Homo-oligomer: A and B are copies of this chain.
Amino acid sequence: MKPSTVKGTRDFSPLQMRRRWYIFDTIRNVYRLHGYQPIETPAMENLSTLMGKYGEEGDKLLFKILNSGNFMDKTGADSESFWQENRETERMSRALLSKISEKGLRYDLTVPFARFVVQHQGELCFPFKRYQIQPVWRADRPQKGRYREFYQCDADVVGSDSLNNEAELVQMIAEVFSAFGIRVQVRINNRKVLAGIAQTIGCPEKMTDITVAIDKWDKIGEEGVRSELGGRGIPAEAVEKLFPVLHLQGDVRQKLQDLRIFLQESPVGLKGVEELETVFRLIEQMGVKTDCALDLTLARGLNYYTGAIFEVKALDVEMGSICGGGRYDDLTGIFGLKGVSGVGISFGADRIYDVLNDLNLYPESLVSGTQVLFVNFGEKEQEWTFAPAQALRAEGISVELYPSPAKLQKQFSYADNLKIPFVAIIGENEHQSGQIVIKDMATGEQRSVSPQDLLQAVSSAE
């Protein structure tokens, strides 16, 4: 009987909203400071824009919107033959889908961005640096930490091949997490290096298998990786050749030197090493202090990315990747605009929310919405509160008058429940003496102040 949210979706309470805005505002501010420009695209896109862009599984996970009105019209479902041919409902669903639905909800921000670039190419000035913070929807099975509606926070540059972009994105990642106070490691790899490794050991078509196997090194050790590779059809000689890569030691510089020797016969691999060298050099020049590691096991979105790959892990909490990204060489090709290279990152707002929560890193000020509650003693007395309340608001302080002259206890418990730090009282006595009584709800302390000192009295929290 009691109404509820759709499974896998969430309401956000005022406290959750303030925390989420803190996350979005922090990310948005870093994007803005680096010259990225905001755009927004509609929640719904034509299915022709969305279908086929996320693989077969992705097509199934798109939320599709039913055409309005008489949606069965022109489906042919009223013909005898349709019914004969589609007696199994699964077949019927497939036959009807494209006819009764033409729109779907945004599944990520990347495909709508590609559509945006192609549609507005005449108005845009390249390189185009854009950011976009909007919800996306996926008809996934809901489970802990996985929602059907969640926000993505993307920044991308398109129309520039310069590795300055890669380095600046790492710089931005460092700034965002430094602002949050979350200690992270940025793991960096390059898809060309992975291709070079596969080439060097004589299995150019096995890049994904090799990377997946290497990725398990920490968990299953050297012997585990050996047998994993064998299981994935990598010949024993190739596995032997691979081992120098697994034993790379030292700092980034040393590793890249050794990698250069290892990949000396692979032009693509050497190109990847060179790109990594440049990116790491630029990061250093930019003064990034965050730990940035070369991680050859990093493989994210292998089919999609073509150059640099980034992934960020929190150091002080067990959690998957909280930010990722990379270089892709042909974002807009799917919509007919060839040769537009791009590179971008995306922050996982929901996971960052959990990390900040687990590490207790939210600013204390987010707990309160209203800063000052004026007590309501009645029709005559409330008039005395209007001017001081407005004076505080003019200074940016959030102020409420309790709307009715309820029992004092009720008004104070309202302040308590909403964690309002200060209660202001103007009764007959205060009015006579031109004073306002301020109660600090944390300490219980009360004091009288003049209207001139009111701002200072309620700003002194924390």
Q: Contact between B60 and A68 (Cβ–Cβ < 8 Å)?
A: yes
Q: Contact between B370 and A11 (Cβ–Cβ < 8 Å)?
A: no
With a 10 A CB-CB cut-off, give which of A4, A93, A400 has the most chain B CB atoms: A93
Q: Contact between B35 and A13 (Cβ–Cβ < 8 Å)?
A: no
Contact with B along A4-15 (1 / 0, CB 8 A): 111001111110
Interface 9-residue window, one of A119-127, A299-307, A452-460: A119-127
Residue among B41, B130, B386 making CB contact with A285, cutoff 8 Å: B386
Q: Contact between A162 and B403 (Cβ–Cβ < 8 Å)?
A: yes
Copies of this protein in the complex: 2
Q: Which of A92-126 contact B (CB under 8 A)?
A: 92-93, 96-97, 100-101, 103, 105, 115-116, 118-120, 123, 125
Minimum Cβ distance to chain B for residue A365 (Å):
13
Bound: A161/B405 CA distance, A = 12
| Given the contacts A39-B11, A65-B65, A149-B42, A403 and B164 also touching, CB distance less than 8 Å | yes
Residue among B63, B125, B414 making CB contact with A65, cutoff 8 Å: B63
Is A72 engaged at the interface, CB distance under 8 Å to the other chain?
A: yes
Q: Contact between A33 and B3 (Cβ–Cβ < 8 Å)?
A: no
Residues of B within 8 A of A135 (CB): 43
Residues of B within 8 A of A414 (CB): 125, 127
Residues of B within 8 A of A370 (CB): 35, 37
Closest to A28 in B: B21
Q: Which of A255-302 contact B (CB under 8 A)?
A: 285-287
Is A417 engaged at the interface, CB distance under 8 Å to the other chain?
A: yes
Is A40 engaged at the interface, CB distance under 8 Å to the other chain?
A: yes
Q: Contact between A72 and B92 (Cβ–Cβ < 8 Å)?
A: yes
Q: Contact between A149 and B96 (Cβ–Cβ < 8 Å)?
A: no
Is A338 engaged at the interface, CB distance under 8 Å to the other chain?
A: no
Interface 9-residue window, one of A82-90, A183-191, A202-210, A236-244: A82-90
* A-B complex: 8 closest residue pairs judged by Cβ atoms: A35-B400, A9-B42, A14-B37, A162-B403, A35-B370, A17-B38, A125-B417, A72-B89
Bound: A148/B120 CA distance, A = 20
A-B contact pairs, 29 of them (CB 8 A): A1-B336, A2-B336, A3-B49, A3-B335, A4-B46, A9-B44, A11-B41, A14-B38, A14-B39, A21-B38, A32-B398, A35-B399, A42-B149, A44-B149, A64-B66, A65-B66, A66-B101, A70-B93, A71-B97, A72-B92, A72-B96, A75-B89, A77-B77, A77-B89, A160-B404, A161-B404, A162-B404, A164-B376, A287-B386
Q: Contact between A39 and B66 (Cβ–Cβ < 8 Å)?
A: no
Is A73 engaged at the interface, CB distance under 8 Å to the other chain?
A: yes
Closest to A175 in B: B393
